[in-house]
Chains A and B, each alone.
Chain A
Amino acid sequence: MDTIFILFALICLLLLRVPVAIAMASLGAILLWLKGLPMIMVSQFMISGVDSFELLAVPLFLLMSHILLVGGIGSDLFRAVQSWVGHWPGGLAVATVITCALFAAISGSSVATAATVGTVVIVEMTQRGYPKFFVLGLVAAGGTLGILIPPSIPMIIYGVITEASIPKLFLAGIGPGLFLASMFIFYSFMFAKFNKNYSRSKKATREERVTATISALPVVFIAFVVVGGIYGGLFTPSEAAGVGFVLSLAIVLAKRKNTFGDIHTAAMAAMKTTVTILLIVAAAALFGKSITIYQIPQDITAFVATAFAEPWLFTLIICIVLLVMGLFLESLSMLLIMMPVLIESLAPMGLHPIWFGIMFVIMIECALITPPVGMNLFVVQAVGKAKLSEVIQGVWPFVLIMLSTAVLLWFIPGMAMYLPYM
């Protein structure tokens, strides 16, 4: 009963155009108050919600992208990619998905992936005639690859809770991650092919390609340092964001085309987006913890774990619960609250913990892009300066793709299990 009331209240507030952060924070506070709990929790949760070094990747990668943007370098990379594949149907969209997958390979976070790729590609793609809703949906969905393609923070937490091998989980994520990426590419291709308003770019000449590629070298260099630095153990993803930012600034300043005012503009834009995203993170922490005190996620999980004995029904119900719970909770909370209870049911039902982990992550990805509450929707909206309704319009085909992937994973467990156990 509580669950339905809370869900209803949240959706009402959101429909009444209350900012997402304020809706979640004030509802969280009201819930604490109704239970007669110490309201001092409100301020403590709001602070601890953004007290994280991992989150620092968001402002720093955003700064990096905005600096590259004002320096005209962000589009250099795109122009280069476009000179090679732009004449294909959906060439830029394909490039976007590939960029997301590459970025996912260095970042363990979906939000950081969507924010970074979004800042670079949204303006560029819409300028080239792609419908905005399609671009927004593509970036929101592409960003979720961040937690399926290793490294992945949710997978580490999952491994620690369930005692499943983390390297095996990472390996298991690669197959479905690449499959999803290729499905996104396929969809982009089809979308471009059958979309009448879309005009294909002309095939670039050899000279154009060489020029474009050379001018993209600085970005390639930055990407190389950022990716190589993480794999080489020089720094963590958050630190990589800092290094990437400083490098971008150095390159932009070296080109001597930009004024101090441009840098200031980039800093202001990055700050504004960061604040809107991190405020939701803080508010979601307050809200999520309030309903945890109400024992709502715990009760639902315990119910599911005991009520359904058929493996397929159990898996299906969990997936539905994850989609609904994704409205309230961020992914790590879902893992921490649900998995310790669910893990007991896996072995008796013959469900492999590694396989189930990948299923869980795919459903978390889905929750990230389903309205009304999905972090990636918010990130893309903020970065793309769009309306949420536009993002939603663009994202639903990708939700369908992800759900089909989940279904496919049920029938073909080898998608995930082949790599770790070959």
Chain B
Amino acid sequence: ETTLRLTLQLPLTHPLGQNVASFKEEVERETNGEVKIEIFPSAQLFKDKDVPQAVASGAIEMGVASLTRFVGTVPAVDAFYVPFLFDSSDKIKAAAAPGSSIRKILDPAIEETGAKPLWYQAFGGAVVLTKGDKPIVVPEDAKGLKIRSFGATISDTIEAIGAAPTIMSGSKQFLAYQNGTVDAGMTGITAVQSRKLYEVMDYLTLTNHADIEFIVVINNDVWKALSDSERAIISKAGKRVEEELRTSIINKENAAREFLADKIKIIELTDEQRAVWKKSTASVVKAYVERAGARGQAIVTEAGKL
């Protein structure tokens, strides 16, 4: 009997948590309880940023973290944050699919660190939140503002539109928005609902300039120590829940939009406005390739072919 402990940032009730719970259920059933999966939700054990090292060093067997947390060892993972690199939901779906040309570059690189990617969890697109009476609709509106960021590439994007990025973790957003420590923020639309950010912000602009992915990893040595049949069961279960989440994410985002409709003013971009966003953030890809090197270049090339 093997116990695989899994550290999770979000509560089990969150769609990403339910996704992991469904995986656990299938694995335990198919292995007749030979492989037990013990979930530690709500960052009880490890903070988001500590997950890559915790899993790779074997402190814990499995973990879920946002993909950008691997940027410390694999800078290329920020590809999904390069603005409009994958500029439609079909392209995102194609890029994040198991065995895609993009993941053929990313996954082995992550595995080299000692943590093997099992599946990606779709979290949805990035949106812009603003407070006050002047929402950010086009990049011009953001000039001179302080904007919450959640990673190096997102910060580049914010600088590209003439604003000042302030990196802060998801849990600090609420107070920072309420107090006005930052004027605006970037985050995922589902987080606006789950973190209750609509209580302190007035406008939500659906820019979808970046795609937020979470990733489930397992320690390499633990993986190798499993039997062939156990590995097959885990892979199969992972693949199933990955697809389920990917196909339902559009519904979940729509549900979030519906929920938020009377709580915050939602702004959709016209095609012209989207084009302006694209144009003013075009420089970010250069900075990304500079950081991510050959792998980053390869991903940008492959993205063009999607």
Contacts and interface: CB of A to CB of B under 8 A. Distances in A.
Tell me if chains A and B make direct contact, with any CB pair below 8 A.
yes
A38 B221 CA distance: 13
Contact of A340 (B11, B174, B179, B196): B11
Nearest to B44: A292
A313 interface: no
B250 interface: no
Please tell me the size bucket of the interface on A: 20 to 34
A337 interface: yes
A337 B44 contact: yes
B46 interface: yes
A166 B50 CA distance: 28
Contact of B57 (A40, A163, A232): A40
Contacts of A156: 171, 174-175
B44 A44 contact: no
Nearest to A292: B44
Contacts of A11: none
A232 B181 CA distance: 8
Interface string A160-177: 110101110000000000
Contact of A44 (B41, B59, B176, B199): B59
A161 B11 contact: yes
Nearest to B46: A48
A292 B195 contact: no
A151 interface: yes
Contacts, number: 76
Contact of B12 (A38, A41, A108, A340): A340
B99 interface: no
Contacts of A333: 44
Given A156-B175, A230-B179, A38 B196 contact: no
Given A48-B47, A108-B175, A292-B45, A165 B11 contact: no
A159 B199 CA distance: 11
A160 B59 contact: no
Contacts of A165: 196, 199
Interface in A220-273: 230-236
Contacts of B60: 38, 41
A228 to B, nearest CB: 12
Contact of A166 (B13, B54, B174): B174
Nearest to B53: A44
Contact of A293 (B5, B42, B179): B5
B223 interface: no
A48 B50 contact: yes
A336 interface: yes
B59 A163 contact: no
**B47, B54, B171, B179: residue with the most chain A Cβ atoms closer than 10 Å:** B179
Given A48-B46, A167-B199, A337-B44, A41 B179 contact: no
Contacts of B150: none
A233 B179 contact: yes
Given A44-B50, A292-B44, A157 B171 contact: yes
A157 B42 CA distance: 10
A40 B58 contact: yes
A66 interface: no
Interface in A315-372: 333, 336-337, 340
Contact of A40 (B59, B179, B181): B59
A292 B194 CA distance: 24
A132 interface: no
B43 interface: yes
Interface of B: 5, 11-13, 40-47, 50, 53-54, 57-60, 171-172, 174-176, 178-181, 194-196, 199-200
Given A160-B195, A161-B42, A236-B181, 15 more contacts: A153-B175, A156-B174, A156-B175, A159-B196, A166-B174, A166-B196, A230-B179, A236-B179, A289-B44, A292-B40, A292-B45, A293-B40, A336-B42, A340-B12, A340-B41
Interface of A: 38, 40-41, 44, 48, 51, 108, 151, 153, 156-157, 159-161, 163, 165-167, 230-236, 289, 292-293, 333, 336-337, 340
5 contacts: A38-B57, A151-B178, A159-B196, A233-B179, A233-B180
